[in-house]
Amino acid sequence: MFEIGEIVFCPLRGSGVIEAIERRTMLGETREYVIIQMKERKRLITEYISILPY
């Protein structure tokens, strides 16, 4: 789905590069998250990956 180094764009946050993809378990539920280095804001954000139908 996503790969490290891939450039992504979010209409609300702008563009960034995927730094890492991690699995995290919270309250017994494991989910996949991407760590994105934002271009404009010089900060890292973490987003939950959800699979949406096309």
Using one digit for the tens of pLDDT, what is the confidence trace for 1-54?
788 999 988 787 788 898 888 888 889 988 888 888 887 767 666 666 655 443
Whether 46 contacts 14, CB under 8 Å: no
* Total count of domains within the chain: 1
Convert 9-50 into a string of H (helix), E (strand) and C (coil). EECCCEEEEEEEEEEEEECCEEEEEEEEEECCCCCEEEEECC
Residue 33 lies in a domain: yes
pLDDT score recorded for residue 54: 39
Residue 54 lies in a domain: no
pLDDT score recorded for residue 52: 44
pLDDT score recorded for residue 53: 45
pLDDT score recorded for residue 28: 92
Question: What is the pTM assigned to this prediction?
Answer: 0.68
- Of the candidates 9, 11, 53, 42, which has an alpha carbon nearest to the alpha carbon of residue 34? 9
Find the domain containing 40 and state its range.
Answer: 7-48
The Cα–Cα gap between 43 and 40 comes to 8
